Chains A and B, each alone.
Chain A
């Protein structure tokens, strides 16, 4: 135990030096996932047959296959057709595109869970469909989506570790490197696990505060 603590004290700074890479990857991927996810959700909710079909196929494919395979496809495969991405960029695109498929489903579910009477009431006071969607339906849907989005954010934070498999030097890769030089694999990966638990714990706490701040009395779920 004291061995582990002294090990942790010695190598924590080295692992944490890679934290900006992990967090940067995470935030950028979430933003890509959010934007693309909204587009996909809109496509599935309001698109014509072609748009609906394409966005549905996208969602099904990305949710039905492993992210590691998607990442290899993008990082190793795309250069075959001339698209060469460095590891960080490839990981960012892969995680973001994967997350988009999940976020799209959360958005879609949330929009559909807003009672139809809300849109009717918006139309009844003279709003257009677009206005009704933007100022009545969407704000309610967004609040409903926050709990799921919180989950997704934590999942994605953990998924950034997969970028290690294509050589992004985030914290998992850094920990493995330390293991390779010290041969104290158990200590270093235990330390890494502790870091992730604390990290996801902090994110969960912060997002929970956001959740309670944005809650509407009586509108739950």
Chain B
């Protein structure tokens, strides 16, 4: 009986999961691009940019996800209409930017100073040195902390529920109201789906980390 309900509704659950994954990928991509840009600005940029970066991090890390979602959906909606999904990408993506820029700033600053100097000494410009020497080392070290960010954002996608994105959690609520019950089982199945995606993502990122590991690098520091 319960299993029938689950199996009948599996397409909806997977549909919701797919939306959640799309949201996750989009927000992580926004956070990745802007996060690296912000981190570079903070490490190498002029002082005003540094201050801007610090302020941005502070503000976006200080606001709960739900509040950002409400602000970017209903709040922006005061000025022009925005769909729930792009609003969620924007809200969670900017928040992820704050967290990712912190990760990238940390690993960039952890690259030994001599690396930049040696790159400059063979005639590379600062930009060339960052691109060819600093970032390849820093990004490898970033995979570990980035895995945490992945997990935390996967779970954060469920909060897009509150602005009406029809992702996995909202699909669960739909199923519950349409079948009048089975709440524990439905939420257990949903939890399991998040759990599995999280586990798979962590495994993949761990594999990536090992694949790009450099013998002896980062072990002592």
Direct contact of A and B (CB under 8 A): yes
Q: A: which residues have CB within 8 A of B?
A: 61, 63-70, 72-73, 76-81, 158-162, 164-165, 172, 175-176, 179, 183-187, 189-190, 192-193, 196-197, 199-201
Task: Report yes or no: A186 in contact with B78, Cβ–Cβ below 8 A.
Answer: yes
Chain B residue nearest to A203 (CB atoms) is B62
Report B44-81 CB contacts with A as 1/0, cut-off 8 Å: 00000000000000110111111110110011111100
Residues from chain A with Cβ under 8 Å of B156 in the complex? 66
Q: Please name 29 pairs of A and B residues whose Cβ atoms are closer than 8 Å in the assembled complex, sorted by A.
A: A61-B195, A64-B151, A66-B156, A66-B158, A66-B194, A68-B158, A69-B187, A69-B191, A72-B187, A77-B183, A78-B184, A81-B184, A158-B64, A160-B64, A161-B65, A162-B159, A172-B64, A172-B66, A176-B70, A185-B77, A186-B78, A187-B75, A190-B71, A190-B75, A192-B70, A192-B71, A193-B63, A196-B64, A197-B62
Complex Cα distance A67/B79, Å? 31
CB distance from A184 to the nearest CB of B (A): 7
- Asked whether A197 and B191 contact (CB < 8 A) given A68-B158, A162-B159, A164-B66, the answer is no
B101 at the interface (CB under 8 A from A): no
The complex places the Cα of A169 from the Cα of B156 at a distance, in Å, of: 21
- In the complex, what distance in Å separates the CA atom of A76 from the CA atom of B63? 27
What size tier do the contact residues of chain B reach? 35 or more
Q: Give B59's nearest chain A residue, CB to CB.
A: A197
Give how many A-B residue pairs fall within 8 Å (CB-CB): 128
Asked whether B27 is an interface residue with its Cβ less than 8 Å from the other chain, the reply is no
Report the separation of the CA atoms of residues A65 and B197 in the bound assembly, to the nearest whole angstrom.
10
Main secondary structure of the interface of B (DSSP, over half): helix
The 4 A-B pairs with the shortest beta carbon distances in the complex, nearest first, are A185-B74, A186-B75, A66-B158, A197-B62
B127 at interface by CB-CB < 8 Å? no
In the complex, besides A72-B169, A162-B159, A179-B74, 20 extra interface pairs with C-beta distance below 8 angstroms are A64-B198, A65-B155, A66-B156, A66-B191, A68-B169, A69-B158, A69-B172, A72-B172, A72-B187, A80-B184, A81-B184, A160-B64, A172-B67, A186-B74, A189-B67, A190-B71, A196-B62, A196-B63, A197-B58, A200-B62
**B7 interface hit (Cβ, 8 Å):** no
B183 and A76 form a contact (CB under 8 A): yes
Closest residue to B188 on the A side, CB-wise? A73
**Is B162 positioned at the interface, with any CB of A under 8 Å from its CB?**
yes
Q: Is the CB of B79 within 8 A of A186?
A: yes
A55 to B158: give the CA distance in the assembly, Å.
Answer: 25
Chain A residue numbers with a CB within 8 Å of B29 are: none
Task: Output the least CB separation between A10 and chain B (Å).
Answer: 17
Closest-CB distance, A90 to chain B (whole angstroms): 13
Is B150 an interface residue, CB under 8 A from the partner? no
Query: A162: nearest residue on chain B (CB-CB)?
Result: B66
Taking CB atoms, residues of chain B closer than 8 Å to A199 are 62
| A80 B181 Cβ-Cβ under 8 A | yes
**Centre residue among A65, A183, A196 by max chain B CB count within 10 A:** A65
A162 to B67, CA, bound (A): 9
Compute how far the CA of A73 lies from the CA of B158 in the bound complex, rounded to whole angstroms: 14
Bound CA span A193–B155, Å? 21
Q: A73-B184, A161-B64 are in contact. Are A193 and B176 (CB under 8 A)?
A: no
B212 touches A (CB below 8 Å): no
On whether the beta carbons of A69 and B162 are closer than 8 Å, the reply is no
Asked if B190 lies at the interface with its beta carbon under 8 angstroms from chain A, I say yes
Residues of A within 8 A of B181 (CB): 80
Task: Flag whether B199 is at the interface (Cβ < 8 A).
Answer: yes
Task: Tell me the smallest distance from the CB of B71 to a CB of chain A, in Å.
Answer: 4
Q: How far is the CA of A199 from the CA of B70 in the complex (A)?
A: 18
Known contacts A61-B191, A65-B155, A70-B191: does B169 contact A185 (CB below 8 Å)? no
Report chain A residues within 8 Å CB of B65: 158, 161
Tell me whether B161 is interfacial, beta carbon within 8 Å.
yes
Is the Cβ of B66 less than 8 Å from the Cβ of A165?
Answer: yes
- Contact status A196-B67, CB under 8 Å: yes
How close is B187's CB to chain A, nearest CB, in angstroms?
A: 4
Asked if residues A67 and B62 are in contact (CB atoms below 8 Å), the reply is no
Q: How many angstroms between the C-alpha atoms of A164 and B69 in the bound complex?
A: 13
